[in-house]
Amino acid sequence: MTPNLQAIVDEIVAAMAAETERGAPARYIPGLAALSTDRFGMAVVTADGATAMGGDAEMPFSIQSISKVFALTMALGKIGDQLWRRVGREPSGNAFNSIVQLEAEHGIPRNPFINAGAIVVADVNLSGHMPRESIGELLRFVRFLADDETIVVDEAIARGEAETGYRNIALANYMRAFGNIHHSVELVLGCYFHQCAIAMSCLQLAMAGRFLMLDGMQPGAGRVISPRRARRINALMLTCGHYDASGDFAFRIGMPGKSGVGGGILAVVPGKASIAVWSPGLNASGNSQLGTLALERLAEATGWSIFRARA
Ligand SMILES: NC(=O)CC[C@H](N)C(=O)O
């Protein structure tokens, strides 16, 4: 373990408590709007199995778009590279819920980490299943990765999002018109909203991300995916994990990462660490304001940017 990792985390937690610029919670999903921006949590699990954490690191929150990483891993396990006929691998340069590129690009979303791409991934994961089975399969996968059977879906958040998810409904219908959604839009979105409503703590998320720092190996359980696939998912997280702020995240932090509008971010330092941060206040790009800042501090203190020659 990096010497003083817990001391570094403690310092970051104290610094975040003093920050006055804390962003604002997502307002469009009932249940997220009421979250306090006072909350901040951070958990780091290192490649040698050590853990450092602080603040609200064990408080569950809505993982939202971070679920796209786990859903993508599952879809690749089902249909492999065929997925790339239906979803691209390029940063979108647009907001996470944008519809504008879909028309010019014939209903093929730019990448699996924007909403449109994740809805296609949910459609793939639904094949051969009832929606309840599909979401159960993803939940079991996440529990396995986190080594924690207590992880559940927050049904109230899923319901609230289904009631207000007009943009996602539009995206799904639009792609269905191009033949890129194969099941009923209602069923696919039911799965998508439930996966976004999985509730996890920073500690559980950092644990769940271990396979991405270890070339696809899950400590204590063996291989989850091939090293090549782990490398590729990390590449997508680096280039597409923060929507149109992905470039800035790479510039400031230099780690593959995936954010969610619940205020969480999962970040991976291959060979070194799996990290999760959470604070519900978002910046203008829809990424956690303090979460991003905390990761920037951590990267500076540890030298963990993947663009450094050595830490
Ligand atoms: N960026 C996000 O976390 C978006 C996920 C959210 N459930 C949505 O579909 O709008």
Q: Is 154 in a helix, a strand, or coil?
A: coil
174 is in an annotated binding site: no
Beta strands 61-62 and 152-153, pairing class: unpaired
**What's the pLDDT tens digit per position in 115-163?**
999 999 999 999 999 999 999 999 999 999 999 999 999 999 999 999 9
Please report the ipTM that was assigned to this predicted complex. Answer: 0.95
Is 287 within 8 Å of 243 (Cβ atoms)?
A: yes
Q: Is 53 left (phi over 0), alpha (psi -120 to 50) or beta?
A: beta
Atom of ligand 1 nearest to the CA of 161: 7
No. of H helices and E strands in the chain?
13, 10
Query: Which of 27, 28, 29, 153 gets mutated to test ligand 1 (max ligand atoms within 8 A of its CB)?
Result: 29
pLDDT of residue 97: 82
222 C-alpha to ligand 1 centroid (Å): 31
243 is in an annotated binding site: yes
What is the dihedral angle through the alpha carbons of 71, 74, 76, 77, rounded to the nearest 10 degrees? Answer: 180
Q: Is 192 a catalytic residue?
A: yes
Nearest CA to ligand 1 atom 8: 115
**Ligand 1 pocket by C-beta < 6 Å: which residues?**
64-65, 96-97, 115, 161, 168, 196, 260-261, 286
Spell out, as residue ranges, where the chain has pLDDT lower than 50. none
Taking the C-alpha atoms of residue 79 and residue 64, their distance in angstroms, rounded to an integer, is 24
283 is in an annotated binding site: no
**What's the pLDDT tens digit per position in 91-100?**
988 877 888 8
Q: Retrieve residue 100's tokens.
A: 């504008």
pLDDT of residue 1: 53
Query: Which of 27, 99, 113, 115 gets mutated to test ligand 1 (max ligand atoms within 8 A of its CB)?
Result: 115
pLDDT of residue 311: 52
Atom of ligand 1 nearest to the CA of 97: 10
220-227: which pairs have CB atoms within 8 A and are 24 or more residues apart?
220/147, 221/144, 221/147, 224/73, 224/145, 225/73, 225/76, 225/77
Q: Is 127 a catalytic residue?
A: no
Q: Is 142 a catalytic residue?
A: no
Query: Which of 97, 278, 292 gets mutated to test ligand 1 (max ligand atoms within 8 A of its CB)?
Result: 97
Specify the pTM: 0.97
What the chain holds in terms of domains, given with CATH numbers, is: 5-61+202-302 (3.40.710.10), 65-198 (3.40.710.10)
Taking the C-alpha atoms of residue 134 and residue 197, their distance in angstroms, rounded to an integer, is 14
